[in-house]
Amino acid sequence: MLIDKAVGFLPQGLRQGFENIPRDELIKAEELRLRAGQSASLSVNSREIPVGEGVVTQSELETVLERATDASVHTVQSSIAQGYLNIEGGIRIGLCGTAVICDNKISGIRELSSLAIRIPHECKGCAENELMSILEDGLSDILIISPPGGGKTTCLREYIRVLSDMGNRVSVADERGELAAVKNGVPQFDIGRHSDVLSGGKKADMAMMMLKCMSPQIIAMDEISSIEDMEAVYAVSGCGVKVLATAHAGSIDELYSHKAYRDILKSSIFKYCLVIENKNGVRSYCAERLA
Amino acid sequence: MKLTGSIFVIAAALLLGIGKARELKLHRDTLREMISFLTVLNGEIVQNLSPYGKILDRLNRDNYMHMSGFIDGLSEALRASDDRSFSEKWSDCVTASLGVLAEDERLELTELSNSLGRFDSTLQSKAIMRAKAGLEAKLVELDATLRERQKLYIAFSTGAGLILTIVLC
């Protein structure tokens, strides 16, 4: 299981604490949190539970990074410069430390201070009723929103699977490798029989490439946030392709308070918005038709 | 009988000298291969951003005569899922497979290991180039005196054999 893989990256001292946690609790983990000078913790249902007695050292954080990259941290330095790295199976490690600046850009992170090891989960059937009610109007452009850690990516992956298995050609622009976690060309997650995945590049570039090369009916993108992402959404939506995307926001009102999202909402590209709420670990889904 | 004995003693001493001279050559050749290994390692890390597993596979195919034990050992250690860091694995392989190198040369390589595996390509490259420069200086020194030292070993051991023969006779 992915949680075992994630715990396997930890040095012996830290691993012990996680191995002592009951199995049924451990498999629910959304994240392992390691902060230098603090005890390690396990994030379950968006709440952090302290693990073990000792404190995490900076050297232990470096060991985790070394293990996660097979002692080849240099191979992922461009990803580290963006604050994260992806591991086999869709596990993502977020990093904090001291940013290294080169030519006014962050070129790396040294002196690590914290790591967030995120464990992806498949949730077949989640928000299925909402999707079915949206599909009553035909295939639509859908924006899935929630605050960070709310389950957007899991929900998007499920929608990709369902729509793909219905016979729609879905092109997935998987920038961080979290949606499909492709290994040796094969997605590690079930994303449906008619899905094509392009990973590793910028979402906007990949969406345009797939639009030209894969004749998709739906293009899926996780976490649209930059101006380039928005431009890609404008570009593909005007070409007869439906867009399935996620964005960080707690509500539709919050979306309107963000200039880039406000513009895209006003352009009426997205017909539906699926709002995910997470209260004490219980997720609720609400599909709203956008004006 | 005495003549046969004398010949045996002198031959044994000569062989001892030749063995020592060969050891010196082996030391020089291993050092030379290590420098070449570090050059390739640096290139793969800086230009191709290759992972260590792939770099070692490539180096394994390059037919290093004297470094093969080190490369094999490190490849195997990298594949093993134990709690040792890459630095520890590298140091263990230096100790186990590069005994022919001098103590200070092994120390140079062990110190290099502290910078490998967990840093970006710039930092690793700097450390590799520093270690390489140190080993190149040793190689120049070794090359300059190799012939003389080889001759000295052979002459000294043959002389010692002769003296022993005279004493015994």
Report pTM.
Answer: 0.78
pLDDT tens digit sequence for A224-275: 988 888 888 888 888 889 999 999 998 999 988 988 888 888 888 999 999 9
Put the strands of the sheet holding A40-44 in their side by side order. Answer: A47-51, A40-44, A31-35, A105-118, A91-102, A84-87
Find the CB nearest A72 among B52, B81, B83.
Answer: B52
CA triplet A173, A178, A182: central angle to 5 degrees?
75
Cβ distance B56 to B78 under 8 Å? yes
Find the CB nearest A74 among B45, B81, B83.
Answer: B45
Distance (Å, whole) CA A65 – CA A60: 9
For B45, which DSSP code? I
Residues 6+ apart with CB under 8 A from B9: B161, B164, B165, B168
- Report chain B residues whose CB lies below 8 A from the CB of A71: 51-52, 78, 85-86, 116-118
Find the CB nearest A72 among B51, B81, B83.
Answer: B51
Cβ contact, residue pair B117, A77, below 8 Å: no
pLDDT tens digit sequence for B53-89: 999 999 988 888 888 999 999 999 998 878 889 999 9
- Report chain B residues whose CB lies below 8 A from the CB of A74: 45, 49, 119-121, 124
pLDDT in tens, chain A (291 residues): 889 999 999 998 899 899 888 888 888 888 999 999 999 999 987 789 999 888 999 999 999 999 999 999 999 988 899 899 888 888 999 999 999 888 888 888 889 999 999 998 888 888 889 999 999 888 999 999 999 888 899 999 999 999 999 999 999 999 888 899 888 889 989 999 999 999 888 888 999 999 999 999 999 999 998 888 888 888 888 888 999 999 999 899 998 898 888 888 888 899 999 999 988 778 889 999 986
Cβ contact, residue pair A63, B78, below 8 Å: no
pLDDT of residue A172: 95
DSSP string across A83-116 = TEEEEGGGEEEEEEEEEEEETTEEEEEEEEEEEE
pLDDT of residue A123: 84
Distance (Å, whole) CA B9 – CA B12: 5
pLDDT of residue B124: 94
- Report chain B residues whose CB lies below 8 A from the CB of A72: 50-53, 117
Find the CB nearest B118 among A11, A12, A62.
Answer: A62
For B48, which DSSP code? I
Report which of B49, B43, B51, B53 is spatially closest to residue B76, judged by C-alpha positions.
Answer: B53
Place of tokens 């979290």: A178
SS3 content of chain A, % helix, strand, coil (to 5): 35, 30, 35
For residues B36-43, give the mean pLDDT: 95
pLDDT of residue A51: 92
Q: What secondary structure, in 3-state letters, does B140-155 show?
A: HHHHHHHHHHHHHHHH
DSSP string across B59-126 = HHHT--TTTHHHHHHHHHHHHS-SS--HHHHHHHHHHHH-TTS-HHHHHHHHHHHTTSSSS-HHHHHH
pLDDT tens digit sequence for A139-159: 999 999 999 888 899 999 999
Cβ contact, residue pair B53, A8, below 8 Å: no
Find, in chain B, the residue whose alpha carbon is nearest to that of A60. Answer: B85
pLDDT of residue A137: 83
Instruction: For residue B43, give the H/E element and its range.
Output: helix B2-43
- Report chain B residues whose CB lies below 8 A from the CB of A102: none
Best mutation target, A4, A61, A74, A100, to test chain B (most B CBs within 10 A): A74
Place of tokens 């001279």: B21
Cβ distance B107 to B135 under 8 Å? no
- Structure tokens, A141: 């452009």
Residues 6+ apart with CB under 8 A from A274: A127, A130, A131, A134, A142, A143, A144, A145, A155, A285, A286, A287, A288
Distance (Å, whole) CA A225 – CA B47: 32
A149, A171, A190, A142: CA torsion to nearest 10: 50
* % of residues, chain B, pLDDT over 90: 51
Cβ distance A75 to B49 under 8 Å? yes
Quote the strand ranges of A46-165, DSSP E.
47-51, 84-87, 91-102, 105-118, 142-146
Query: How many CB atoms within 10 Å of residue B33?
Result: 18
- Report chain A residues whose CB lies below 8 A from the CB of B53: 70, 72
pLDDT of residue A291: 65
Asked if pLDDT for residue B50 goes beyond 90, the answer is yes
Cβ contact, residue pair B85, A63, below 8 Å: yes
Find the CB nearest B118 among A11, A66, A108.
Answer: A66
* Range name among A32-36, B54-58, B114-118, B159-163 with the lowest pLDDT average: B159-163
Asked if pLDDT for residue B16 goes beyond 70, the answer is yes
